[in-house]
Chains A and B, each alone.
Chain A
Amino acid sequence: MSKRIEVRDLNVYYSKFLAVEGVSLEIEPRSVTAFIGPSGCGKSTFLRTLNRMHEVIPGARVEGEVLIDGNNLYDADVDPVLVRRQVGMVFQRPNPFPTMSIKENVLAGVKLNNKRISKSDADALVEKSLQGANLWNEVKDRLDRPGSSLSGGQQQRLCIARAIAVSPEVILMDEPCSALDPISTLAIEDLIEELKQDYTIVIVTHNMQQASRVSDRTAFFNIAGTGKPGKLIEYDDTTTIFSNPSVKATEDYVSGRFG
């Protein structure tokens, strides 16, 4: 249940503005890849092109190829809705559906697609997903409470449970811990470590310690100046990036000299 991602010479535009230029990289299955870089360097934008979420913003478009196990996401007859069922996403701020209970939130991906599911299957899926997100023990007695009744960290794990309930191949995380306190952050980081067994995980983070703790490979993005496109500067094993980077800018960034 995990797939290899290959990106070939990808440009991302917002209308006429070139936001990310010429990114090529490969992401191995069952690994954690971290994207780091200063604000506005296009790492989140690039992440969103991996499941075509960037199309939600009017005027956004890409040139180039994103291959998941060899299939181009941007082929003419590809349905973005189906892409997103295979490539799940967790957002910066926890966003459980406020009109739904905890249980309904986990089942949202199934139910919202008008799929019928038997009650026992549903219960099994809820338990499996919540256990997968390390949340089952905390919420098993109050599955019918609204999702917004949980704490921020719990809400974020609920969102992860919701994402894995549709059994994706890849999970994209866009700064999943930036709105959380350190304890909740630790819980999410532990969870990422476990999820790695089954999924390909790509995480955007501003926190370099976090990148070095959770990821196997790290990609450093940078931007030459305001109005210039973001570029992939260096992509290597996390240990290499943090101990012995080959590019000067990467070294400056990870050692805290700028950004």
Chain B
Amino acid sequence: MTTATAQITAKQRPGDRVFSGSAVFAGSMILVTLAAVAGFLLIQSLPALVASNEDASILDSNFWAYVGPLVFGTVWAALLALVMALPISIGIALFISHYAPRRLASVLGYIVDLLAAVPSVVFGLWGIGVLAPAIQPLYSWLVDNMGWFPLFAGPVSGTGRTILTAAVVLAVMVLPIITAICREVFLQTPVLHEEAALALGATRWEMIRIAVLPFGRPGIISASVLGLGRALGETMAVAMVLSATGAVTFQLLTSVNPSTIAANIALSFPEAYGINVNVLIATGLILFVVTFAVNALARWIVSRRKEFSGAN
């Protein structure tokens, strides 16, 4: 019994004490693990924060000049992925929750979930072996015909291994995550609201606009923030697909591309030595902080939503 009261102290049996004790222990292990993750990363990062190019060969001047372009690339690629994935995810979620026949809905949901089950290294292999060559002609066409648009400025990459291709692969990878959350939220729309809209003579789309989307808006926002967090930390697909030069540029289709923190670690770590290792760990710490902030934002949105809906 968990109630602590003034006059009663519930007797604890040995079995109860052992069992609840081990449950508390396991819960505390989570605290310890997370503290350890933060602690060890911090300890190993400290030497890098003050290092110069004399200590670490991969630095040009100092650590912050090294990590800056990487942060830019990470955020840029993740945002591009989100911009592509979000509308499609909302569409898929609506299709499954409100358009597809009820009996098919769970099967369709499962098919989309299959995308989430594919390991990222396989996505990387597919991105470089199939997607990049297939999409390169489109890039050439875009540069030739729409090169006036700054994002599509040339010269076009010959391999198709640009930041846009990496972002497409990332979009495919975060799509099932965003879809799954949106689907759940859309399915929770109060039937009363939907029927009220239909009874007013709304078409299906008008019903969705009146009842489903407003109800689901906080869910959509937190889903996209979670998807963003996932895209920020994704490693192998980007490492394999992207042919990075480390530049800071918004151009999507050229062979000059920024790298991302995670991909840079994966590519450089196996050969790293000395302080270079600490530099890479420090970039990992920064990635950790960024994703932590993004996920905390998503959680905050979700908790706000709970207050609104009164459901718990």
Contact = CB atoms under 8 A, between A and B. Distances in A.
A79 B3 CA distance: 13
A70 to B, nearest CB: 19
Given A58-B2, A59-B3, A61-B3, A74 B8 contact: yes
Nearest to A81: B13
A61 B1 CA distance: 12
Contacts of B11: 77-81
Nearest to B1: A55
Contacts of A80: 1, 10-11
15 contacts: A55-B1, A55-B3, A58-B2, A61-B3, A61-B5, A61-B6, A61-B8, A62-B8, A63-B7, A74-B8, A76-B9, A77-B11, A79-B10, A79-B11, A80-B1
Interface string A188-231: 00000000000000000000000000000000000000000000
A80 to B, nearest CB: 6
A80 B10 CA distance: 7
A63 B6 CA distance: 9
Nearest to B5: A61
Interface of B: 1-3, 5-11, 13
Interface in A34-85: 55-56, 58-63, 74, 76-81
Interface string A145-176: 00000000000000000000000000000000
A74 B9 CA distance: 9
Given A55-B1, A58-B2, A76 B7 contact: yes
B273 to A, nearest CB: 55
B7 A74 contact: yes
A128 B147 CA distance: 88
A60 B7 CA distance: 13
Nearest to B12: A79
Given A55-B10, A61-B6, 9 more contacts: A58-B3, A60-B3, A76-B7, A76-B8, A79-B10, A79-B11, A80-B1, A80-B11, A81-B11
Interface of A: 55-56, 58-63, 74, 76-81
A171 to B, nearest CB: 22
User: Main secondary structure on chain B at its contact with chain A?
Assistant: loop
Nearest to B9: A76
B142 to A, nearest CB: 59
A227 to B, nearest CB: 19
Nearest to A77: B11
A9 B77 CA distance: 69
B286 to A, nearest CB: 41
Contacts of B13: 79, 81
B2 to A, nearest CB: 6
Contacts of A62: 5, 8
A79 B7 CA distance: 14
A58 B6 CA distance: 14
Contacts of A55: 1, 3, 10
B8 to A, nearest CB: 6
A136 B5 CA distance: 43
B1 to A, nearest CB: 5
A79 B13 CA distance: 9
Contacts of B3: 55, 58-61
Q: Which 7 pairs across A and B sit closest by C-beta, in order of nearness?
A: A61-B5, A79-B11, A55-B1, A55-B3, A74-B8, A80-B1, A80-B10
A58 B11 CA distance: 16
A62 B3 CA distance: 11
A258 B272 CA distance: 82
Nearest to B15: A114
A63 B2 CA distance: 17
A58 B13 CA distance: 19
Contacts of A81: 11, 13
Contacts of A63: 7
A77 B9 CA distance: 8
Nearest to B2: A58
A19 to B, nearest CB: 14
Nearest to B10: A80
Contacts of A60: 3
A81 B296 CA distance: 42
Contacts of A59: 3
Contacts of B2: 58
Nearest to B3: A55
A76 B9 CA distance: 6
A77 B10 CA distance: 8
A242 B48 CA distance: 85
A178 B7 CA distance: 35
A80 B13 CA distance: 11
A72 to B, nearest CB: 10
Nearest to B8: A74
A74 B10 CA distance: 9
Nearest to B4: A61
